[in-house]
């Protein structure tokens, strides 16, 4: 039953990772700052495909257009802190961020469990 959601989640995480690197690599590597157009061209199609196919599986699971939107948004609050911590040395262990992660997790569970 949750196989479609698992595939959607994996695709969303990969898509968010690609999107994060396309936006934030300019702050990590000088090379990326100098080649933003190349990064945009190389990451746009893979990220878009992850979100397009992820939405397809999520829509099949949720049977709703809004639920996948909330799910992607909330999932980003769980995924993105890792990237900021690992690559930019920014801790997400602040009160504001921890409350946001808790709320995002609640949104994920609401979308998964309530039909």
Count how many domains the chain has. Answer: 1
Domain span at residue 32?
3-113
Residue ranges, the chain, pLDDT below 70: 115
Buried b (16+ CB within 10 A) or exposed e, 15-52: bbbbbbbbeebbeeeeebeeeeeebeeebeeebeebbe
pTM: 0.84
Average of per-residue pLDDT values in the chain:
92
pLDDT over 90 percentage in the chain: 63
């Amino acid at each position: 039953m949750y196989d479609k959601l698992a595939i959607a989640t994996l695709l969303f995480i990969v898509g968010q990772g690609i999107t994060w690197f396309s936006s934030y690599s300019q702050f990590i590597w000088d090379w990326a700052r100098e080649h933003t157009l190349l990064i945009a061209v190389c990451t746009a199609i893979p990220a878009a495909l992850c979100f397009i196919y992820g939405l397809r599986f999520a829509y099949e699971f949720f049977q709703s257009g809004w639920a996948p939107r909330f799910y992607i948004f909330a999932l980003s609050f769980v995924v993105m802190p890792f990237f900021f911590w690992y690559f930019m040395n920014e801790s997400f262990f602040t009160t504001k961020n921890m409350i946001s992660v808790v709320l995002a997790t609640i949104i994920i569970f609401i979308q998964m469990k309530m039909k």
